[in-house]
Chain A
Amino acid sequence: MLQQVLVTLIVVLAALFSAWKLMPARRRLQALRALDAWSASHPGLSAWRQRWLKPRIVRAAGVGCDGCAANDSHPPPPR
């Protein structure tokens, strides 16, 4: 029984992950923006939103790959 649950969980996660990666970039951006709009109405999530969501949106919106100079919320590396 436990095995069934575990396996189902893993497979579902894998399927979601694949779908996310294979999604066209614009859809991904739309999904992220929708997520952003939803989390804006929940002030408790603002920390997560700032740290995780916003950089991802900026990166997804930028031209080219993961590097984008507009990604200003990235803190400088520790010394």
Chain B
Amino acid sequence: MDAAVESKPESRPLRIALVGVPNCGKTALFNRLTGSRQKVANYPGVTVERREGERATPDGRGLRVLDLPGTYSLNPTTLDEAITRDVLLGRLAGTPAPEVAVCVVDAVHLPIGLRLALEVKRLGVPMVLALNRMDVARRRGVEINIARLSAELGVPVVATVAVRRGGADGLVELLEAARWSTPRAAPAGADAAQMPDQVRALLAAAGYSPPRANPWFARIDALLLHPVAGLLILLAVLFVMFQAVFTWAEAPMDWIKGAMGSLGEYTAAHLPAGPLASLLVNGVIGGAGNVLVFLPQIIILFFFILALEDSGYLPRAAYLLDRLMGFVGLSGRAFIPLLSSHACAIPGIMATRTIPNWRDRLTTIMIAPLMTCSARLPVYLLLIGALIPARHFGPFNQQGLVMFGLYCAGILSAFAVALLLKQFGGARQYSPLMLELPDYQWPHAGNLLLGLWERVKIFLNRVGGIILALMIVLWFLSTYPAPPAGATGPAIQYSFAGQLGALLQHVFGPIGFNWQISIALVPGLAAREIAVGALGTVYSMSTAGDDLAAQLQPVIASSWSLATGCALLAWYVFAPQCLSTLAVVKRETNSWRYPLIMAAYLFALAYFAAFITYRVVGAMSPGGVEL
């Protein structure tokens, strides 16, 4: 157990990596170290992607912090864990090995974390140990002599409280003073069977006293893990989530709508009529503005997802659903990627790296886009708001019910596809569950807000970036060529977009889409919520007269039939209107085959579903204008 102290008087920031078992508070520590100065890959919510952040240090050198995926052992069983090991050893192309590995150990669960620390030590990587959640551990009666532990281990140990301001200062001081140690690397394959004994010996020598069990955890688990009550509670939680998305957001949404409307009127009033005014009002405000309106709903949805994740409830939901998912051939571990897909399929697909079995992983990837992602929300909300009257059945809102129904449709169809894949899959290797159910904890407000803020930033980036750009292009395509003199009908029909829409009408006519929808689906391929903006642009430019910045919902409500609206809803449940998702699938599966198969089967399903819906609803509610 060497303890060679190194110092590197360089001007570049010190590269450190956080390594630890899942649920040890590593991400909280990462947040504490880097604050909002994180270069979070665009996908927060699940620690799958490597997250990097920076922190200034008093000596001016700075830290660059890498948050590695949680892993139980450096003998990897999942892709996640393989990445962690490879990064530590500097084997991952494009990522230099960190200069110091910070082993984050949850003080409440010392033995399991210490085991991993011993494995890291065997690698011979420069390291320090951060004993996290010391405050909770002390309260639960944990006793440990940190100095003795450090001496026995041969590695500097520092206590951290990630959730408290200044809780990581000790760690930063240690790193700044370059007081880490570089243990001697043990030969590969040294028997792992000795580890438990070594851990026991270490803890005994350091005067360790294990924590008292918290009786509340047992009581809550008795309820939440109960086969019947647990499932009912899960359903109730999800239901409340979707109801809240509708009711809580009404006020902020109206406010945003009003603001957009006023902005449109103001612009129209102060600019001379002409192409610029049209561009700004119809293209920018009518287009991007219509998508912006859904920001409150998205915030609420993510609030629930992040809170559930932080509280430790999600793995318990995976436990409850494991049997059901096994029935359709999915691993219980697929639950968290699939739940993440409700926020956005892209982090969900990346989260499948925790699924060790390739077939399971592929199945999960294939069905992830069927989960109702947040980008579908603007489309759903628009259509439901326009076509479904807001009747109340007791405490239930009819619109909320339809929304819940759409979510269920996504999940059920995903299970159906998984079942189909299972039938044609052939013999499968067993894939284990072995999921940790972490301690319950109150969701930490700071982490929650940080997570929400990241999500808001991404949304605003998309709206202000690609969505805005595409809306401008669409405006151009919808305005030119201008209609010849003496033409009848809305101007837009003569433009490029109109002509394209007329062409697509042949394809989409049988499923009830009018030419405006057909046009909107084309830029909608780039991202789902663009269809809303596109519809806004297309309609605000086809309404005769100066009805600028008209609200989209009433227009749709008055000109579409219920059958058309429902068909579009059904289309959106399935259609892969998201090039980014297909791109990620290509990257994760390393071939063109799977994203192409995915696109093909999803479009086919979408067309089929829309067709059936259109015919059925059309037959039930004799055509024409509803409401």
A contacts B directly (C-beta below 8 A): yes
A4 interface hit (Cβ, 8 Å): yes
What CA separation (Å) do A74 and B583 show in the bound complex?
A: 27
Q: Which of B15, B465, B472, B475 contacts A21 (CB 8 A)?
A: B465
Residue of chain B at shortest CB distance from A76:
B62
Interface residues of B in 557-593 (CB under 8 A from A): 579, 583
**Within the complex, which residue of A4, A14, A65, A70 is in contact with B473, where a contact is CB–CB below 8 Å?**
A14
Question: Does B62 lie within 8 Å of A70, measured CB to CB?
Answer: no
Chain B, Cβ-Cβ closest to A61: B94
At the interface, yes or no: A42 with Cβ under 8 Å from chain B? no
B395 at the interface (CB under 8 A from A): no
B473 touches A11 (CB 8 A): yes
Identify the closest chain A residue to B476 (Cβ). Answer: A11
* Shortest CB distance B460–A (Å): 15
A67 adjacent to B526 (CB under 8 Å): no
In chain B, positions 278-324 with a C-beta closer than 8 Å to chain A are 279
Cα A17 to Cα B64 in complex, Å, equals 31
Q: Are A67 and B50 neighbours in the complex by a CB distance under 8 Å? A: yes
Q: Are B579 and A22 in contact (CB under 8 A)?
A: yes
A residues 36-72 near B (Cβ < 8 Å) are 61-70, 72
Say yes or no: is B121 at the interface (Cβ < 8 Å to chain A).
no
Residue in contact with B39 in the complex, picked from A18, A21, A66, CB distance below 8 Å: A66
Which of A17, A62, A68 makes the CB contact (< 8 A) with B469?
Answer: A17
Shortest CB distance B40–A (Å): 7
| B53-61, B244-252, B423-431, B499-507 - the one binding chain A | B53-61
B473-508 CB contact bits vs A (8 Å, 1 = yes)? 101100000000000000000000000000000000
Q: A65-B43, A69-B64 are in contact. Are A76 and B52 (CB under 8 A)?
A: no
Would you call B94 and A66 a contact (CB within 8 A)? no
Q: Which residues of B contact A25 (CB under 8 A)?
A: 583
B190 at interface, CB cutoff 8 A: no
**Distance from B216 Cβ to chain A, minimum over Cβ atoms (Å):** 38
Q: How far is the CB of A63 from chain B (nearest CB, A)?
A: 6
Q: Is the Cβ of A6 less than 8 Å from the Cβ of B276?
A: yes
Interface residues on B, range: 35 or more
Residue of A nearest to B12 (CB): A72
- Contact between B94 and A76, CB atoms less than 8 A apart: no
Q: Check A3/B469 contact, CB under 8 A, given A76-B56, A77-B62, A79-B56.
A: no
CB–CB B37/A11 < 8 A:
no
Determine whether B41 belongs to the interface, using a CB cutoff of 8 Å to chain A: yes
Which residues of the other chain, B, contact A4 by a CB distance below 8 angstroms? 275
B468 in the interface, Cβ–Cβ < 8 Å?
A: yes
Please, which residues of chain B bring their CB within 8 A of the CB of A63? 92-95
**Residues of the B chain whose Cβ atoms lie less than 8 Å from the Cβ of A31:** none
Cα A30 to Cα B60 in complex, Å, equals 36
| Contact among B13, B50, B583 for A24, CB-based, below 8 A | B583
A24 to B54, CA, bound (A): 29
Measured between alpha carbons, how far is A77 from B56 in the docked complex, in Å?
6
Neighbouring B residues of A66 by C-beta, 8 Å: 39, 41-42
Contact residues of A with B, CB < 8 Å?
Answer: 3-4, 6-7, 10-11, 14-15, 17-18, 21-22, 24-25, 61-70, 72, 74, 76-79
- Beyond the given A7-B279, A79-B60, please list 15 additional residue pairs across the A-B interface where CB-CB is below 8 A: A3-B274, A7-B275, A14-B472, A22-B579, A25-B583, A61-B94, A69-B50, A69-B94, A69-B95, A70-B96, A76-B54, A76-B60, A76-B62, A77-B54, A77-B62
Can you spell out 11 A-B residue pairs with CB atoms less than 8 angstroms apart?
Answer: A3-B275, A11-B279, A18-B466, A62-B94, A64-B49, A67-B49, A69-B52, A69-B66, A69-B94, A77-B54, A79-B56
